[in-house]
Structure 1
Amino acid sequence: MTMRRIASVRGIALALCFALLGTVPAFAGWRDDLKVLKVGFIAGDNPAYAVARLEPFRHQLQYGLAVPVELFPARSYQALIDAQASGRIQYAILSSLAYVALDQTCHCAEPIVQPTTENGARGFRAMLVTRSDSGIANLDDARGKRLAIGARDSISGRIAPYSALAEQGIEPESYFARAFETEDAAAALRSLAEGDADLAVAWSTADDPVSTTPGSGPIADLAEASDITLPPLRAIWVSELIPFGPHAIRTDLAPEARAALIDTLLHMKDTTPDAYDAVGRSFSGGFVPADPTLYRRFSGLLASVEQPQ
């Protein structure tokens, strides 16, 4: 080999070494800065059990990120919001309502993925329904009727419908002959079927709001129940799509960490189903990239009515 050839080979080798040395700090830098990713979630009254249940999910995040991951169990969404807004956690598993509240608090987080149903639905639509033979075709016809609603903190059972009514200038307490609270949408529909209400709140993930497609919501569930006969129904109001709650990260998290998390989450159902089931068992469709537009629209829907504290 000639001296010129040797010099050329050595030059290439040195260039490669410098290139590799230059990439090592970039590769390790954001991990060194992050040190630990803290993931917040609602733990309920038994945090130890909840942490153990989410262990496969935590382990898979740690594997995908190549950074230690710690779980942060919270007893309420307000505690979770405060923790992410203050930077004590970088990642939170939120309801759609909690994400909107967080965004209004600090504009410091973004949704990265959201779960889906088996048929690919990213969320559900809230609605007001009546019997098809009731003679009630719209909100004007509903004046003076009896309405079965959900709990005050229920998005589909109270918050979304009342927001829509507020947009129409309707005050439920004076507009309806009676607006009475039920345990959930299924209970409200039972009141309608049994003649105790003229209207009921409900929700569905199906394109047809009153569909009985299995797994689409309480109308479908009651259609399969043996102890009640659900009459034919008509929806007189249907909301825009209300997205399922997202997994959200702080916007100051390194782009490399963001990319690694999204890649891990999008493939989790297929590659490590036990990790996915630990956190998304109620949503059999897996994670998809979050659509921020859906959460902005939902925020707009909520803007016209005072939210429960």
Structure 2
Amino acid sequence: MIRAMFALVAGTLAFAAGACSATWAQDTARPAGLRIGMLGAGPAIEGASAIERAYAQALGMPVTVFAAPDFPTLIEAQVRSDIDYAIYSASAYAVAWKLCGCIEPLVAPSGRDGASGVKAVLIRRKGASGPGTSTVSSGPRDDVGVLSLWGAEEASAPTSGASTSEAEKAFLAGETQELVGWVVDRAVGGPDLASGTLGRLTAAGLDPQEVEIAWRSDTLRFGPHAVRKDLPGDLKTRLRNFLVELRPSEPDLYEYLEAERQGGFVRVSPDDYMPAVALVEAIRKR
């Protein structure tokens, strides 16, 4: 997935330096106001009108929401300066940052339980090691799946791909001795070992005492709302404050922006996504 993203937006590298050098205020050809890019299956984003009105009221300027069919399209649009603001997964943000270096994260969603991201984990049956141990990668096709690729390098045998359910069934049946999965990580309290893959395995009858966590990755933060660096500083401050206060003040609008993680937006910095950047670079070099 990461290599595909790079390949699909490779053409942006030729003009990325120029796109990043023109400041937001100097771009006289751009439409007035703020341009927001979001993933959407069709030409329209659910709640787009409400999003535009709320942002416009908070910022005092016109706001337009654009739909992108996939992350490569969203990345290319922001690198080209066709949009000012994009909502990314962590790995998509990292690809955009590697291509241009012209973006920065403002906020990211959190879970009601304080979850801030995920960790890949290598789950191993106690006493299992060495040749003959089979490993199956597990995880949905998003940032968790990307982390699982990283975790597979720590396994004691080559990994075989499988769907999440197939991988977990094979592990529960004793057909494999290792499983690359994931757990939720919290900003306070650390990883929740009863969540994610481990939680599902335990619910399916696995005795937690029979396994160990042989390896865990750095935390991959939930994907950020990222803006171009050349936006005026006061505009970035107003955007960040608006988003941090959004969940308690306008919960319905918050759900249009983040339907899954209902703990509200929290401030983030580029340093929070350095593990994602390192992971993307490692996968790209394979």
Separation in structure 1 between the aligned mates of residue 122 and residue 57 of structure 2, nearest angstrom: 45
Amino acid at match of 1:231: D
Letter in 2 for 1:278: Y
Pick aligned residue for 2:260 from 267, 282, 298: 282
Which residue of structure 2 lines up, in the alignment, with residue 84 of structure 1? 78
Deviations 1:85-109 (A, max 9, x none): 0000000000101111101111111
In structure 2, which of residues 21, 36, 39 is the aligned counterpart of residue 39 of structure 1? 36
- Give the secondary structure class of the aligned counterpart of 1:205: strand
Count of aligned pairs between the two proteins: 255
> 1:291 and 1:119, CA in 2 relative to 1: closer, same or farther beyond 3 A?
farther
- Paired position in structure 2 for 1:160: 147
Other structure's SS at 1:240 match: coil
CA RMSD of superposed structures (Å)? 2.8
Structure number with bigger Rg: 1
Q: Does 1:201 align with 2:180?
A: yes
| Cα shift readout 1:189-219 (whole Å, capped 9, x = no counterpart) | 232112232111211114575722xxx3233
Pairwise CA distance, 1:119: 2.1
CA contact (8 A) 1:156 1:201 kept: no
Indicate whether 1:296 and 2:274 are aligned: yes
What is aligned with 1:65?
A: 59
Identity of aligned residues (%): 26
1:43-80 CA-partner distances (Å, limit 9, x unpaired): 13x343xx124443333222211212111111110100
The match for 1:181 among 154, 161, 174 is: 161
Q: Secondary structure at the match of 1:299?
A: helix
- 2:110 maps to 1:116: yes
Which stretches in structure 2 are left out of the alignment for 5+ residues?
Answer: 1-24
2: CA distance between counterparts of 1:36 and 1:210? 42
Corresponding residue SS for 2:135: strand
* Change in CA separation of 1:63 and 1:96 when aligned onto 2, cut-off 3 Å: same
Map 1:262-277 to 2 at 5 A: 262-277=240-255
Secondary structure, in 3 states, of the residue corresponding to 1:92? strand
Could you say what secondary structure the match of 1:72 adopts?
strand
TM-score w.r.t. structure 2 length?
A: 0.79
What is the SS of the residue equivalent to 2:245? helix
SS of the residue 2:244 aligns to: helix
Q: Distance in 2 between matches of 1:209 and 1:286?
A: 19
What CA distance in whole angstroms lies between the structure 2 residues aligned with 1:204 and 1:223? 13
Secondary structure in 2 aligned to 1:129? Answer: strand
In the alignment, the residues of structure 1 paired with residue 127 and residue 192 of structure 2 have an alpha-carbon distance, to the nearest angstrom, of: 17
